[in-house]
Structure formats: C-alpha cells, structure tokens
Structure 1
C-alpha cells in the first residue's frame, strides 16, 4: 500500500480533540492529508494536535464548531474552503454519552445525544455532499468525487441497556450511512462507516481503568485485548483511500470479535 495514500487530500475530522477522532486526525496527516481538527470546547487540545502535525511536516488547523447545530457545520466547511480550497474526506466522528436507566433518562439527555451523534452527522454530511458536487471530480486527488466516513459503534447492532439514547443514535447512523450510500454512489461519492467496539478512550474509562472492570470487559472480547484508538484510525485511513475505492455502504467493525456474541462460545 502507498505510504501516503491520502496525499494531496483535504479532510475534516469532527470531534477530533480526543479519543478516536484525535487518532484519526494524526493518522490522516501521516497518510498525507491536510486536516481540519474540529473541536467543540477543548480548544487547547485541538490546537496542540494541529501543532504536532505541523511540527512533523504536515498541514492542519483547529476549528471550533458545534456539529449538533447547522451553524456549527457551516462554520467548519467555510473554514476548510478558505484554508484548503475544499474538502475530499469528511470523518463524521463527533459523539457523546449521557447514560441513565430507561425510565430515569431525561428528555434533555435523550435529545442531546441524538442531536450530536445522529443529527450532527446528518447536517455535516449534507454540507460535505454539497461541497463535493460544487467542486467536481479531480482524478489527481481521488477516484471518488468525495468520501464520507461515519464513526458508528457495535451498538448499532447490539442493544445496550442503560444507554438507549446512544444505541438509538448509532442504529440511526447505520441506516443514514446506508441510505446515503445507496443514493449517492452513482455520483462517485463513497459513504461508509467504522464501528468500534471497546476502545481505550476517555468516554469509557470506567470500563477498563481497574483490573476488575478490565477483566469483566475482556469477557466480551474474544480476541483478548481492549482496542486502541490507532486500531480504528488505521482502518479509517484505508477506507478513505483509493485502495478502498470499491467499498461502498459498508460498516467495518473494529471490535476484537465483540460482534460474535462471545457469551455463546460455550454453547449458550
């Protein structure tokens, strides 16, 4: 595989100031892309990522924007147009959790997770498609008119008690991605998703920071280890590159086998 499979491409990574988004921003830059590092409130962290990329010879800059609001997405796409002249890849990654038992969950917490994890993905994807069409195909950059990559979750398929807002949003992302891919593939716009399982990030520290929690979590992972953000980032680079040009409407699960329902290993 080309050592710089994203050379010359311009990428926007939402929710890139930490966790999986942070790893994707670094991996995209290493693969040759110019990267917009989006953040909502973590300005210092986002600017540090952009600075690190620049110090290693890459091109990146941090842009604030709340993707759950149309104005936030418009700000991001205005910035990438001004700074880079357009966009080739959108990684719709921003997400959050606000967990509670079903009957204890507030409407506010339900709505906020849906707004960020689903509606925000929709709004930014709309802006990306409009931009792709306006720019037109440039074969020197990519075989595709544009690429959109959603960050979903194994919980687009696995129910998750105590997290109904999160699971509902991710289930929505699955069909958002697939419906977009079906509608847009004829324009050479590739839409796919990555679905991480258990990954060591700040959003799920409680699930792996103690030995007891770690052992409990590993029972759900046949491969026997908890994932790292780089496991997801490397897959994202491939899906965004021309090496994956014939991959359309696919969810790539990166989960150490969690989707294999390991509780049934002993016959159920």
Structure 2
C-alpha cells in the first residue's frame, strides 16, 4: 500500500525510462505524489504514457510524456533534451527500461545469443541516458540515479538466465558509477525486485509456482509494483542522502544478503 510521501521531492524533476507501464508507471506516479515533476519515457505506447501523465497531474504535479528508444544514443539524447526543455534540469533519473527483445525463458547453456543480446541491450538502455543526465548532475554537483534491477542477478535462477546476467552487469555498472560520481554529490543505487505482477511478467504469474514462492517468502507475498516504486522514492530523497552504491532487494526477504 502506498503511503503519503509528504511532497518529499517537491521542486525536483525526475525522468523515468520505460515509464508507461508496470514498475515504471508505478514509479512515475509515486514520484509525482511525492511532489516531483516527472518526464514519462515510452517507446511505443503513447496512450499508456499519457494516462500516467494524467494521473500525475491529478496529484497537482507536472508531468510530460517523452517518446524515445533509450537503446539508441540519438533517440536518448533527444528525449533527455525534451524532458529538460519542458520540465527543467533532471534531479532524479530512474533507469527502468530494458533492452534486448522479449525475455527468453531458457537456461544459460541454451541461450548464449539471447544472453549476449540482453546484456548489450540492458547496458545500452542504461548507459545512453546516464551519460547525458549524469554529466549534467555532475556539473550541478548533485542528483540521484536509481537502477531498477532484479533479485535474479544474485539468485542464479537458470530459467531466466538472460535477465539474471544482464541485471548483474547493470549491478556492476551501478557500483562503478557510484564511485565515479560520488565525489560530485551524485548518488547511484539499485532497487532489485523479485517477481512483480506486471504485463511483462504475465506468463510467469500464471504458473502455480507463484504460491510456492509466496510460501517461502518471509513476508508471505510477492512484491507489487507500488512496493518497488515507494523504495525508489525513498532512495531518490534526502532521507537516503548518504546512501550510494547500494543494492536494495524489494522481494519480501526472498534473498537476504
């Protein structure tokens, strides 16, 4: 359940990549409730992005939809420019978009090409935007970048090998950027959900295994998109002003570190 964020992010501007559906949409809405102006990036579904914008505006926050493929450097530059022109300098970047095509349900030995494609797509989707926004944050000596990772990067689940390896690569990038940008006051962290019921996870949610996962989860339920979104709001705020390089599982305790 969402809690009142108390306009925790009032006066700040956020960009959420892949912000039209699932965790990205929930995050954009949560940032808006916390008082941030939000640029909602989308690739194809303009109506879904506009629906998220409408919801944010109903919370008396500013929001715009910005189209663009974050895996393409030129498109990424254009959408960052649009977001900045329309809302101002970006204080919060949430890297939620994933590249590399449909999720491949197969083991590592069966999916060499798919793993390589997923890693390449994930790093491009993340780095293309971080290069632009991170450089601007560094000049202003402040900002927060949050990656949406996955608990699979540390669980070693073979049935989602491409996601596990790609998100592990993104985890490594997070730590490198946290060290690189920290002296300039820019924080970089990862929120790592387990199974979350979204459009993208619909095939998985139909499996009877969901009940088994919940049975061994200490909090006895799988995460909802809003659980992940609220964690991102917290990490983006001054409440976590001295936290960087962190990998925060949002999975009800499935994977404890």
2:98 is aligned to 95
In 1, Cα distance between equivalents of 2:216 and 2:79: 38
Offset at 1:175?
Answer: 1.0
Question: In the alignment, which residue of structure 1 is the partner of 2:16?
Answer: 13
Question: Counterpart of 2:221?
Answer: 225
User: Which runs of structure 2 are paired with 1:174-189 in the superposition (5 Å)?
Assistant: 174-189=171-186
Shift of 1:110: 3.4
Deviation at 1:121, TM superposition (A): 0.7
Q: Compute the displacement of 1:213 (Å).
A: 3.5
| CA contact 2:115–2:166 (8 Å) conserved in 1 | no
Contact 2:115–2:165 under 8 Å retained in 1: no
Question: In the TM superposition, what are the counterparts of 1:22-61 in structure 2 within 5 Å?
Answer: 22-61=25-64
Gaps of 5+ in 1: 138-144, 262-268
Residue 218 of structure 1 deviates from its aligned partner by 1.9
Aligned residues: 251
SS in 1 for 2:41: strand
Question: Where does the alignment leave 5 or more consecutive residues of structure 2 unmatched?
Answer: none
Deviations 1:168-198 (A, max 9, x none): 1111111100111111111101111101012
Aligned match of 2:243 in 236, 241, 247? 247
Structure 2 CA distance for aligned equivalents of residues 126 and 156 of structure 1: 23
Contact 1:207 1:217 survives alignment (8 Å): no
- Of 167, 170, 173, 1:173 maps to 170
Q: Tell me, in whole angstroms, the C-alpha distance in 1 between the residues paired with 2:216 and 2:202.
A: 16
Does the CA contact (< 8 Å) of 1:13 and 1:38 recur in 2? yes
CA RMSD of aligned residues (A): 1.9
TM-score using structure 1 length = 0.87
Q: TM-score, normalised by structure 2?
A: 0.91
Once residues 137 and 241 of structure 2 are traced to their aligned partners in structure 1, the CA distance between those partners, rounded to angstroms, is 16
Contact 2:119/2:169 (CA < 8 Å) preserved in 1?
A: no
